[in-house]
Structure formats: structure tokens, C-alpha cells
A and B are shown apart, each in its own frame.
Chain A
């Protein structure tokens, strides 16, 4: 199962072609690509050995939590990704060389695999003051990303920084921190959201690209639907407590020990799209709500400015009939059955809305103020 994917040469030999046939095929490929005869050897060499897709991993305004999350992947194991699946040709966090030799690794791959490599970006781009707030090798991060994006086949924006600007873009955004999609046009960009994204989700995106040879289907915020099409609230194992009106009223109270719903403590699960409730974290060990803390909404744009975190949402899309969970909680003491029915109705309305829209975008800014 974990066998290395076969090269074209290995497949040709298995199918009964000779080495001579293979070289003829390579010559034909070179001719078709308009290469000189001296390139035949190169093409043959590439087909013989090139099985791992080159990946460049740039670091801008970030905290390296995405890289740290990535190396936590359990399936596949990160060593298997690095040794067998991709060729991670540039990442400041793990690469052996520094300085000039590191830069050489970057430019080598950009030249040699133009149009073939995957560019992954961790961190936002500061655009204020001509980009002086993040420089590497004397160049602005903005220029570095633009140059690397030019020859990329696809771009992965790791985490909230690259997808939406994250904490440094919180008000007043002193450095003009900007997500990748606002600066780079004309390339497929996958926003793998979260602060950081779940390790197995990050690895899952890589596996998707390699296995299915396509960019996963994205929502309108550029997030893969495979991991970001359900609200944490809708996949939360504490959801029955919400529906039953059972809430934690203060940290470490009797309700907290019973594992009741954290909505009143400020949980952003109802307005956050992520796989935490399903995939969970660190190979499925737990997720924030299971460990007693409300979701802070880290996979949504501008979540830092939707605080304070411990003030509960007063309304959100899909709350419909009950209007607020506070009322649900109060009313349920006397009419539990009614509450459940009411919530079921609102959930159905919500479902219809989702189908109509294709997906939905939380509108926290509007709904959090009251």
C-alpha cells in the first residue's frame, strides 16, 4: 500500500517494452515538446526517475505553526511524504542549507520544473511601506511570492495567515498583512484554513493532489469542501446538549464536568467551517470543544476581530425560530419537547438555505453586534 508510485520507465518495462523502445519513446516526447536532440537523455532521465512532485514552501509573516502542524501528520506519516511522495525542495524550517545555497535550491526548482511545481505559502504578505516588514535575502516577501507563483502549477495557501491574513491582519493591521489570493491572480489557489490547519487535513490536501491529479472542489472562499463544508456546530458531539438547552454557565462548573454545550461561553462553532468535529486533532485525539474550551473560529477570515472570544454570539444564520439560545435554555425547563421541535424546524430551514446558496458564508460582523 505504501509502495512508491511507479515511474514511466518501470511501467513501460512491466508492460514488456524494452529499454530501446523506451529511449525511442523519449526521443519522440522530446521532439513533440520541441526540444533539441541533446534533451532526449534528459527526458529519459526524467521519466525514469521523476516520481515525486517538487514542492516549494515559502515563509512570510507567520509563526511556523503550519509547518509544525504538518510534521504532526499521522496519515500519511510526514517522513513518508518527504521521502516518498513529494520533493520538498525549499522550506526554511527543515532544509539543510542556508543563505546562498538555500536560495539556490529555490531557483533551481523554479527553473528546472517551471510550470510543474506546487507552491505552498505559509504566512501573509505585508504590503505597507513597500513591503519592508518582511524581507528574505534582502528581497521583499511580496516580490518573492510573485516570482515563485509565476511558474507554479497550483498554489496552496497554508493556514489563516496565507488565506486571510490572520492575527497580523487584525485591526489596525499595522503592516498591511495581505492574503495570497489578493496578490496573485490566474493560478488555482487552495486556502487550507485554520490557525493552524489540522495536520491530517494538510496532508490530505497533498494526497488529494497526488492521488486524484486534480485540485479539490473549493467553496467560494477557496477552501476544499472535503474539509470545510460543515459547521463545527453541526458536527459537534456536544450538539445534542445544545438542542436540549443544556449549557455550561461558567468554566469548571457542574455542567462543564458533564460536557454540556459551550455556546454561552462564546463558542464560535455555529459560524465556523472546519473539520474539527469530524477529523479532530493529532490523529483524532480531541478538539477544542471536547477539551472544554469554546471554538474561537480560527478557520474563518477576520475571526480575531470578532471578539471578545468569551462573549457569546447573540445571533447567527440558521438560528431562526428560537432567535437566541439563551431563550432556548430558559424555555426548555418547561417545554423541552417544543424546543427540540423548534430547533429541528430551524435546522431544516438552514438546510434549504444551504442547498439554495451552494454553501454559506458566515456573516459574523453583522450578527455579532447587538
Chain B
């Protein structure tokens, strides 16, 4: 068993970055995720593993430092909260276009604009439908506990390098600020420059005599080649959809109704499910772990088992609910419930929404 600690979600993510053998973190502070860079600065990872931690002059600088380091085959990450993540979108699009691996975290706060520093899940569209320009996708992992804030850093780097894709860890102010018990995984050694050069034939590690030039770019002025590149990206995304869907079903076996939620909303909804079960309502929880890829097939299977209604619970005006609708294809009623703008819904409110919007009709 690994080391047990009581940590904030943000601290667990930072500690996991060091332990995952990351080479660098570039970031810029913003509430509610500033503990990430605070923890890293205090921990002095350069002394522990040689990992570089740098506060950039802006979020835009930070993401472009990530772009450069990723191009050199390094394990690199950044983190921010909603307004800061918006600033990073150009860089993310370039990283996706250049097929580079990186991990970044968004500890979401209420928007739009500067919004509020309180928790929100209103960045779902930005996270899963683009965010930056162009036909790209990124893997989106949604931790619902401090443990997952740690575990998903390691998983994120594995997926990022396997598919050469940006991986987003999408949490919110609840998961970032709360403390829970976390079992830390053992230190993974950083790769040496030689190991990077050998392992990643695409990385720009310095041209040796007699070897081909490696070019990191998202630009090709030949549209035929660019279409080919886009087709290649789409094939990759299809493979990811086929192989990397992750979710958790709680009390769904006999469920007549299902609540779909992710992150902190999933935790709150789980309590609502417990309360509903005590009242004899047969309801289950479909917790999304990957938001892209989205578990559409698994939802269709539940439809076939006769689910009568779906309630999408998210701290937004209704974003994920669109993917639930597309997935269940009209097999049953789908409704949305969520507070937003920094207000966190309570288990009681979720239960009331289930009774009024789904069961009551």
C-alpha cells in the first residue's frame, strides 16, 4: 500500500505530477487552483527528481512552454482555472495539431468571463467540443475524488504518450479545494535524455548525423496533405472512442431512472441516489469518468434494459445533457438539472429535480 495522506485535490494533483516522473510544470496562479503551483514551489521537486517548476508570465506563455517541452518528448503539464484555460486554447489546438502529448488541469470556476471563484462545471463544451480552433479532440478525465486527482495524472501521462494527444483533467473548485484521504503511488523515475530519444522517434532531441530531420508543426500549406493529416487525427480519435471509455455504474442494475453526472456533481448525485433508494425509488448513477470519449454505447445498452428517464446533473445551464440526448437517441425522456454561476446544488435539490422533472410527469 502506498503512502496515505490527507490532501487537497490541488495538492494531490501536484504531488502526483512529481511522482509521475514529470519533467516540467509551467503555470500561472489563479483561484481555485493556486495550490498546485504553491505546493510544487514548496516541495522543491528539482531537488527530489530534477523536475522544473516555473511560474510563467502568463497562461499563454505557460502553454507555449508546454508545447516546446512536449515537442522535445518531455513529460510536461500545466494547470489553471476557467479564464486561464480559455487563454491556453490556442496553444492546446497547436499541441493537438502537432500530435504532442501533454497533461493539463482545469479546476473550473463559475463563468462566463472572470465570473466567480466558486465551483462550476460550465466548461464542458470548451473541454469536449473543441475549445480551440480546428477539428481536434482531447481526452478528458473527470476526477470525482482527491484520490482520482492523483491517479489521473499518472493515467493522463500514459494516455497522452500512447496517443500523442493533450489530456485534460477536468475538475472544479469542490474537488480542488476539498481534502480527502489519498493513497499516493510510488515515484516513477524521470526518463533520461537518451531514453527519450530512443523511446519517442518523433521528439526533437537534437539532430544526429545521418538521421532524418524531425519537425514539430501544425502547419501544412498543401491542403491535400492537411486533409490527410485531419483524416489521420480522426482515425486516432475513433480508436480512442473504441478503447478508452471509462465510467462507473452505481445502483444501475435494477434502475428505472438514471442520473448522469461527473466530478463533484456525481458525488452529490450519489447521495441523492441513496436518499431516493430509501424512499423506494429505483434510481442509479451513471458516473462519467471520461467525458471524451463519451460512453454513448453503454447508455444505449441501459436504454435497452428499459430505463424510463434520464436526469443529467451538472453545475451548468445544460451542456453534458446534450451528449446524453445524442447517446440515448430518444429512447426515454432526458432532462437537465443544475445550479450554476458558482452555486453548488445539494443532494436534496437533485432528488427534488428527479421527482419533479423525471418521475412526476
Q: Do A and B bind each other?
A: no
Chain B residues packing against A (C-beta within 8 Å): none
